[in-house]
């Protein structure tokens, strides 16, 4: 290994390499006077030292095979060639001034040591003009061990004094070799001609040469920021740690101005680069999408849950027992829920706290209906649309107190709707006094559903959950069997139902309480597929099923959820466009097959004639399709052209096997249209 340097520190490397058993044929010291004590140690170890020498050329193609030696003060005339396998270079040290600069501190050029160091006279200051950052040791330009320790003691004592403490700690004493002064070497050799400068590398990752920086100056890129981007100097993963000081010096020389006048590029975090593997590493294999689990995940696994991905969550699709198909499991769960008692882990549903003096006004603009008028203790179903008027999310909103609302969202919508709220608050309604917090994972939430739901909660005790005290679409806070709980009297199944939120840390314990209290009623956990069938029997929409980014609330018969009192909400003007108010838009209906079969999900209803591509015209499509064990036949929801005015008509749905299914257009509510069961 050949070592080339302009300072004494490289001698330590040479001695270490020699001690490790490698050969060091020569140390090339660019300084005419050479090094100090360390240089003498190197000579004593049998290493040849050449002062005032430089490398004219590194020989080899795919690997280093040798170096050509020249005089540093010359133009590169070769004096000698030496075989070697590697070249170790040392051009000096620079303090890590990045954090100081990030905070707003200024830098001072130290010409003697050829480095930028923090300017103690121009420190970062706070809003009151007070300094709040101290640099110590090497970060302050003290580049030797003894100097670093002395400066650290001095700065520490100053900080202690500012806090009212007295006394000065004495810096530890160390034995340090005296070092000769370094020499600033910006080009090797210093009189190199164009041929050598075209092969004199500054940035070893981006292959930027001395000639590239000089060309940038000739082309008019006099700003250091412009020269950086013109040449890509310092833009590799080392972010200029090896090349920037040399590049600044070359640019300053080309512009015939001092280095401080040229200045530095902007220091930006991080100081240590983040690898591309760290950035992209999570987006692959098993961790491509992180899996989110509720507090009942282990219990679901124990119950042989068949998992369904919902957003980043895993939710049980069903709980098949031994010898049971998924279809049989779903039907069993539905039947038990309708006739006695079903339990659902609904913890994944989004829960957003919206709080502040302007929270009501803010929610009135987000939702299609009024939320500011919702009384404390009551709940209201709400719809959110995007700017174009298309339905984006839905959920139940509960008024917690005078300036606090709890907004429930779909499982997949929690993060998206939270971001949606923050975007409007930060870019449009920045003067609103509103705070939004996503507390989805702070609360476990369970649906207790079925004719015996109230009896189970009464067995637990602690709260009055009677119809008179807690009627439909109200909520109350209290304790159930000693557990803090929020009880929401809402239903997504059409049955008597309560949704109970407890702190996530108590989720598993409370679930076990529900199972124990519900054992006499045959308490049955049900999954997402049973949930979907239950809601479809009631004609309740599902975001992502009945919506596809082109559907507005009016298409789904949700006109009642659009306030007639408000002058504005997100999406209102979009819904008033000519295309949105056409009478022949595809609108929500129920679909009942004539033979009781299940229509394929997503099937299109054909119409008379063909389009320009020769395909059959369509007049609607299926959005949700299931077998209903409650009704004993297939049911479906769909959107059909002007569907609500065509009740009783039969339309045709072709299947992929060449056959078709005929279905009658009916009311989308298949079960308990009057709502008697959910209101008991």
What is the pLDDT, as a whole number, of residue 331? 98
pLDDT at 263 over 90: no
Name every residue whose Cβ is closer than 8 Å to that of residue 286 and which is 6 or more positions away in sequence.
Answer: none
- For the chain, what percentages of helix, strand and coil (3-state, to nearest 5) are there? 30, 25, 45
**pLDDT for the residue numbered 283:** 72
- Radius of gyration of the chain from Cα atoms? 38
Measured distance CA(331)–CA(442) in Å, rounded? 32
Sheet holding 391-401, edge to edge: 379-385, 391-401, 404-409, 350-355, 435-438
Name 586's bridge partners. 641
468 pLDDT band (50/70/90 cuts)? Answer: very high
Q: Are 253 and 191 within 8 A, CB to CB?
A: no
pLDDT higher than threshold 80 for residue 507 = yes
Chain centre distance of CA 365: 27
What string of DSSP letters covers 598-650?
PPPTTPEEEEEEE-TTSPEEEEEEEEEEEEETTTTEEEEEEEEETGGG-TT-E
Tokens of 359: 């929270």
Rounded Cα distance between 300 and 502, Å, is: 18
Confidence band for 39, pLDDT divided at 50, 70 and 90: very high
Q: What is the pLDDT of residue 52?
A: 96
pLDDT (0 to 100) of residue 594: 96
DSSP helix/strand/coil, 28: strand
Mean pLDDT, to the nearest integer, of 643-662?
Answer: 95
Q: What is the pLDDT of residues 111-133, one digit of tens each?
A: 999 999 999 889 898 888 887 88
Contacts of range 184-188, beta carbons closer than 8 Å, 24 or more positions apart = 184/6, 184/92, 184/111, 184/114, 184/249, 185/6, 185/30, 185/72, 185/91, 186/246, 186/249, 186/250, 186/253, 187/250, 188/4, 188/30, 188/54, 188/55, 188/72
Residue 659 has pLDDT above 90, yes or no: yes
Instruction: Kindly list the structural domains of the chain, giving each domain's residue range(s) and its CATH number in brackets, ordered by start.
Output: 2-90 (3.50.50.60), 98-142+145-162 (no CATH), 194-262 (1.10.10.1100), 291-548 (3.30.1360.120), 582-666 (2.40.30.110)
Query: Quick one: which of 384, 396, 390, 397 has its CA closest to 424?
Result: 384
Whether 356 shows a pLDDT value over 90: the answer reads: yes
pLDDT at 166 over 90: no
pLDDT at 611: 86
CB 550 within 8 A of CB 386: no
Whether the Cβ atoms of residue 317 and residue 527 lie closer than 8 Å to each other = yes
Read off the pLDDT of each residue in 554-572 and give the average, rounded to a whole number.
Answer: 95
Q: Does the pLDDT value for residue 176 go beyond 90? A: no
pLDDT in tens, 569-624: 999 999 999 999 999 999 999 999 999 999 999 999 999 998 888 888 999 999 99
pLDDT value, residue 637: 98
Place of tokens 């679409």: 473
- Residue 278 pLDDT more than 90? no
Chain mean pLDDT for the chain: 94
Determine contact, residues 541/383, Cβ cutoff 8 Å: no
Residue 189: the pLDDT is 94
pLDDT of residue 172: 86
Alpha helix (H) ranges present in 163-243? 194-197, 210-218, 224-231
* pLDDT of 125: 87
Q: For 108, phi and psi rounded to 5 degrees?
A: -125, 135
Evaluate if residue 275 carries a pLDDT over 90: no
- CA–CA dist 488, 471 (Å, integer): 10
Q: What is the token pair recorded at 656?
A: 């992929």
Residues 222-258 have pLDDT tens digits of 999 999 999 999 888 788 888 889 999 999 999 999 9
Strand order of the β-sheet with 66-71 is 53-59, 66-71, 80-83
Give the residue among 147, 154, 212, 224 at the shortest CA–CA distance from 178: 147
Give the distance from CA 459 to its chain's centroid: 43
Least confident residue range of 41-55, 160-174, 302-316, 395-409: 160-174
Question: What number is the average pLDDT over the span 350-376?
Answer: 97
C-alpha distances out from residue 73 to 56, 76, 135, 188, 248, Å: 11, 9, 37, 9, 21
Q: How many CB atoms lie within 10 A of CB 51?
A: 15
Q: What is the mean pLDDT of residues 175-187?
A: 89
Grade residue 452 by pLDDT with cuts at 50, 70 and 90. Answer: very high
Q: Is pLDDT above 90 for 161?
A: no
List 626's β-bridge partners, or say none. 635
3-state secondary structure (DSSP) of residue 70: strand
CA distances 246 to 182, 185, 234, Å, are 15, 8, 10
222 three-class SS: coil
Q: Which long-range contacts (CB under 8 A, 24 or more apart) does 572-578 make?
A: 572/368, 572/389, 573/389, 574/385, 574/386, 574/387, 574/388, 574/389, 574/390, 575/385, 575/389, 576/389, 577/389
459 in Cβ contact with 666 (< 8 Å): no
State the pLDDT at residue 290.
80
Q: Average pLDDT, stretch 526-538?
A: 98
């Amino acid at each position: 290994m050949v070592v080339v340097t302009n300072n004494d520190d490289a001698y330590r490397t040479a001695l270490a390499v020699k001690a490790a058993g490698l050969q060091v044929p020569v140390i090339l010291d660019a300084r005419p006077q050479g090094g100090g004590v360390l240089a003498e140690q190197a000579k004593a170890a049998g290493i040849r030292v050449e002062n005032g020498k430089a490398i004219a050329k590194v020989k080899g193609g795919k690997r280093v095979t040798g170096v050509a030696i020249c005089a540093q003060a010359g133009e590169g005339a070769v004096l000698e060639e030496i075989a070697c396998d590697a070249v170790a270079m040392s051009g000096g040290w620079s303090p890590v001034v990045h954090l100081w600069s990030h905070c707003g501190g200024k830098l001072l050029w130290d010409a003697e040591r050829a480095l930028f160091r923090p300017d103690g006279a121009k420190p970062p200051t706070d809003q009151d003009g007070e300094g709040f950052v101290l640099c110590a040791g090497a970060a302050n330009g003290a580049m030797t061990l003894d100097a670093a320790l002395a400066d650290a003691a001095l700065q520490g004592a100053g900080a202690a004094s500012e806090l009212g403490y007295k006394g000065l700690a004495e810096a530890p004493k160390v034995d340090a070799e005296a070092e000769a002064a370094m020499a600033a070497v910006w080009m090797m050799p210093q009189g190199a001609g164009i041929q050598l400068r075209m092969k004199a590398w500054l940035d070893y990752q981006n292959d930027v040469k001395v000639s590239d920086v000089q060309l940038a100056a000739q082309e008019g890129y006099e700003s250091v920021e412009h020269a950086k981007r013109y040449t890509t100097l310092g833009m590799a993963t080392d972010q200029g740690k090896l090349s920037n000081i040399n590049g600044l010096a070359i640019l300053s020389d080309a512009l015939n101005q001092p280095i401080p006048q040229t200045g530095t590029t902007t220091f930006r975090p991080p100081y240590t680069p983040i690898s591309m593997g760290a950035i992209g590493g999570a987006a692959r294999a098993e961790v491509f999408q992180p899996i989110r689990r509720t507090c009942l995940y282990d219990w679901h696994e124990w119950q042989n849950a068949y998992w369904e991905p919902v957003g980043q969550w895993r939710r049980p699709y069903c709980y098949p027992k031994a010898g049971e198909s998924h279809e049989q499991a779903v039907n069993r769960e539905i039947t038990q829920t309708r006739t006695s008692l079903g339990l659902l882990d609904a913890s994944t549903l989004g829960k957003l706290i919206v709080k502040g003096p302007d929270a009501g006004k803010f929610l009135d603009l987000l939702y299609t209906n009024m939320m500011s008028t919702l009384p404390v203790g009551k709940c209201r179903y709400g719809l959110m649309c995007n700017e174009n008027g298309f339905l984006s999310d839905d959920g139940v909103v509960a008024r917690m107190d005078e300036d606090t609302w709890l907004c429930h969202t779909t499982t997949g919508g929690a993060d998206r709707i939270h971001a949606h709220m923050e975007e409007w608050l930060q870019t449009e309604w920045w003067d609103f006094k509103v705070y939004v917090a996503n507390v989805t994972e702070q609360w476990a939430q369970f649906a207790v559903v079925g004719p015996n739901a109230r009896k189970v909660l009464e067995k637990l005790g602690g709260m009055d959950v009677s119809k008179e005290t807690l009627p439909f679409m109200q909520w109350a806070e209290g304790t159930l069997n000693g557990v803090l709980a929020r009880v929401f009297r809402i239903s997504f199944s059409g049955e008597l139902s309560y949704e109970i939120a407890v702190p996530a840390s108590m989720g598993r314990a409370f679930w076990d309480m529900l199972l124990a209290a519900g054992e006499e009623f045959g308490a049955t956990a049900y999954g997402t597929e049973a949930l979907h069938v239950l809601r479809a029997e009631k004609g309740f929409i599902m975001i992502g099923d009945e919506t596809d980014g082109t559907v507005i609330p009016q298409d789904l018969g949700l006109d009642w959820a659009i306030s007639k009192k408000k002058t504005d909400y997100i999406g209102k003007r979009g819904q008033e466009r000519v295309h949105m108010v056409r009478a022949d838009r595809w609108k929500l209906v129920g679909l009942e097959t004539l033979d009781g079969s299940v229509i394929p999900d997503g099937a299109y209803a054909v119409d008379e004639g063909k389009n320009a591509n020769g395909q059959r015209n369509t007049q609607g499509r299926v959005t949700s399709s299931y077998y209903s064990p409650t009704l004993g036949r297939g049911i479906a929801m769909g959107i059909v052209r002007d569907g609500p005015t065509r009740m009783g008509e039969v339309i045709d749905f072709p299947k992929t096997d060449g056959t078709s299914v005929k279905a009658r257009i009916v009311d989308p509510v298949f079960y308990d249209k009057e709502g008697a069961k959910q209101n008991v």
